[in-house]
Amino acid sequence: MGFEGSANKVAVGVVRSDGAILSNPRKTYITPPGTGFLPRETAEHHREVILDLVQAALDEAGVAPKDLDVLCYTKGPGMGAPLVSVAVVVRMLSQIWGKPIVGVNHCVGHIEMGRVVCGAVDPVVLYVSGGNTQVIAYNEKARRIERRYRIFGETIDIAVGNCLDKFAREIGLSNDPSPGYNIEQEAKKGTKFIDLPYAVKGMDVSLSGVLTERMRRGECTAADLCFSLQETIFAMLVEITERTMAHCNTQDVLIVGGVGCNVRLQEMMGEMVKQRGGALYATDDRYCVDNGAMIAYAGLLAFMEGDVTAMKDTTCTQRYRTDDVLVTWRKDKE
Amino acid sequence: MTATAKRKASEVVDDAVPPTTTAEAATTTTTTTTTKVVDLIKNLGGYDNMISQGAEGRVFAVTFLGKPAIVKQRFEKTYRHPILDKKLTKSRLNMEARGMMRARKLGVITPTLYYVDTHQAAIYMERVDGASLKELIRAGAMTEEEMRDVGEEIGRVVAAMHDGGLIHGDLTTSNILLRARDQKVVVIDFGLAHNSIIPEDKGVDLYVLERAITVTHRSAAMFEHVMAAYKQHSRQWSASFNKFAEVRMRGRKRSMIG
């Protein structure tokens, strides 16, 4: 069973070791248009609903607590207060049910879920969400020596989801079901392409300038801005992914993270991958957006290799890089 | 060329994606542009002469007025909005040519620029006989001493560019060659180059280089030699180093919520 609560979603999921998802309920803390989610209020929301989610996850999966092998929770990265609110619940359940705990890196959860759902073997991973923008690969050398995911490119300032969310707030779009989704819908109505800053630095991108720049403009509709913003920042993301592919000599791409369910981004990435003769793997919002099953699955993989987190180590951390995790479970051919 | 993703010619033909380019003249229709580029590629000796496909363009080995040359042709990125694509292709082609010339004036060895075909977004330059730093490190072909010498040379070269107000923009180990005949450092691919004297830009340039050397190849010692030489040769090393440290922290911190 996996527990996730690093941002405004709280979720519990039950998975089997073969990747079958038995249940995956989730609740999102939605704030009114023009506002974002604050750590303390988000944690309050999570505390309110998490026990219902645990019950729902058990019922839906048709299992009893005694059938579970391990409880997995998001150790980080994420917002401190929401993370801790979930960790407390996991510690309590672990003691009541007598089950071991495994702490999971949120980003690795996304990657492993994407890999098992799509059946992608060794893709370049574009991880795009509210707090993360990274191009990750598990390349030849990483396999042999490091056994770690390696970040090839990332944002050097704000994350792409953060950029979109802030923009949605600025123009007063609804946060329900998510600001990114509403931008995507709005962008479909946009026709005029507005020139925005395009900042690719090697394999890294810079997104804050786009935001500052477009705030100064007023000569077009919100739809046009949504359209141009998407076209520009997604082009940047596709470009750094392509650079990483060329660098690592990889054919396939996997997109994970909340922004990954944006169909326009998937289209653009698909186009690029086709030009290079590879395949694109992407999932819909059930697996792209933060969920409990991904934490359960990534934790289970580590658990099967003998990893267990002792009670005293079941802490949370706001900063936990993807390349900090020792990948014990990947048995790729060398 | 950002990468040396070498592929066999036959594989590329199998892709069956008609290579197109955004010609400078907006009036040119897509069909004629396509035909022209197909002709161009034919003139370049077809895909048999293609030596690599980077993220930006295809690189062909040709003979230009009797000299061994390289042609780098930027292909259209169909995923991008046409306006954006045209803008980027044009500015990068221009910057590549200008950056290369400017670097030479600053005493940095780059391939000699032969010809720029703005219409087909192709750039003709000298074919440098040598290997990229990436290939050399990967192959383990360099001794500690050579790594130090090359590291110091890179530091000197980057300092010269920065002091002259030129930011390379994509300082990766694929874009640094060692010339076969004299083992001199040759810098290529100025497609992301720009003119700037702002320490921030220099810091980012150094950061990209650090990541390329240490993250991709795990040779932290080499980067130390780069930095030592940079400090020695750049008049504004202090400002650049400060910004570099700042940019580095930014990259580190970024792993946050999601």
In the predicted structure, residue B49 carries a pLDDT above the cut 90: no
Residue to mutate among A193, A204, A231, A323, with most B CBs inside 10 A, is: A204
Rounded-to-integer distance, Cα A61 and Cα A243, Å:
42
Q: State the average pLDDT over residues B55-82.
A: 88
Residue type (1 letter), A252: D
pLDDT 10s digits, A16-26: 999 899 999 99
> What pLDDT does residue B108 have?
96
Active site residue B117: no
Per-residue pLDDT at B208: 87
- Quote the pLDDT of residue B220: 75
Name the percent of chain B lying above pLDDT 90.
43
Specify the pLDDT at position B11.
35
Share of residues in chain B with pLDDT > 70 (%): 76
pLDDT value at residue A213: 59
Whole-number pLDDT of residue B217: 63
User: Does A78 reach chain B within 8 Å, measured CB to CB?
Assistant: yes
Residues A322/A127, Cβ–Cβ less than 8 Å: yes
**What is the predicted pLDDT for the residue at B22?**
33
What's the pLDDT score for residue A141? 58
Higher pLDDT pick, A209 / A299: A299
The pLDDT of residue A247 is 77
Average pLDDT over residues B17-40: 42
A243/B14 touch (CB, cutoff 8 Å), yes or no? no
Query: Considering only A16-20, A160-164, B250-254, which range has the smallest mean pLDDT?
Result: B250-254
Interval A111-130: pLDDT, tens: 999 999 998 888 999 999 88
Interface of A with B in 303-322 (CB under 8 A): 318-322
- Summarised one tens digit per residue, pLDDT across range A66-85 is 999 999 999 988 899 999 99
Residue B223's pLDDT is what?
92
Residue B180 scores a pLDDT above 80: yes
Confidence of residue B5 (pLDDT cuts 50, 70, 90): very low
Q: How far is CA B222 from CA A142, B130, B215, in A?
A: 19, 20, 12
pLDDT tens digits, one per residue of A173-230: 888 888 999 999 999 998 888 887 887 765 566 666 665 555 555 667 778 888 988 9
> Residue B141: its pLDDT value, please?
76
- Structural domain boundaries in chain B: 9-126, 130-253
* pLDDT (mean) for B206-221: 79
Cα nearest neighbour of A256 on chain B: B258
* Class in CATH terms, A121-278: alpha beta
Q: For A315-331, what is the mean pLDDT?
A: 84
Three-state secondary-structure class, residue B161: helix
Q: Kindly report the pTM of this predicted structure.
A: 0.79
Q: Which of B87, B252, B257 sits opposite A130 (nearest CB)?
A: B257
Q: Give, for B154, the enclosing helix (H) or strand (E).
A: helix B144-163
Cβ-based neighbours of B51, under 8 Å, separated by 6 or more: B6, B59, B60, B61, B70
Q: Which residue has the higher pLDDT, A303 or B19?
A: A303
Fold identical between A2-108+289-324 and A121-278?
yes
- Domains of chain A, by residue range, sit at 2-108+289-324, 121-278
What pLDDT is stored for residue B118 in this prediction? 87
Q: Which two tokens stand for residue A6?
A: 């690093």
Q: What's the pLDDT at B238?
A: 93
Cβ proximity of A324 and A147 under 8 Å: no
- Please report the pLDDT score of residue B256 as a whole number: 38
Q: How far is A64 from chain B (nearest CA, A)?
A: 30
| 3-state secondary structure string across chain A | CEEECCCCEEEEEEECCCCCEEECCEEECCCCCCCCCCHHHHHHHHHHHHHHHHHHHHHHHCCCHHHCCCEEEEEECCCHHHHHHHHHHHHHHHHHHCCCEEEEEHHHHHHHHHHHHHCCCCCEEEEECCCCEEEEECCHHHHHHHCCCEEEEEECCCCHHHHHHHHHHHCCCCCCCCHHHHHHHHHCCCCCCCCCCCCEECCEECCHHHHHHHHCCCCCCHHHHHHHHHHHHHHHHHHHHHHHHHHHCCCCEEEECHHHHCHHHHHHHHHHHHHCCCCEEECCHHHHCCCHHHHHHHHHHHHHCCCCECHHHCCCCCCCCHHHCCCCCCCCCC
A139-198 residues touching B, CB cutoff 8 A? 141, 145, 150-152, 154-157, 159, 161, 193, 195, 198
What pLDDT does residue B35 have?
Answer: 47
> Spelled out in words, what is the top-level CATH class assigned to the domain B130-253?
mainly alpha
Q: Is A263 annotated as a binding residue?
A: no
Structurally, at CATH architecture level, domain B9-126 sits in: 2-Layer Sandwich (3.30)
pLDDT bracket for residue B17 (50, 70, 90): very low
Residue B122 is predicted with a pLDDT of 92
User: What percentage of chain A has pLDDT greater than the value 70?
Assistant: 91
For the domain spanning A2-108+289-324, the CATH number is 3.30.420.40
pLDDT band at B23 (very low <50, low <70, confident <90, very high): very low
Residue A139 has pLDDT above 80, yes or no: no
Which residues in chain A are contacts of B247 at CB distance < 8 A? 156
Q: Which of B15, B48, B170, B205 is catalytic?
A: B170
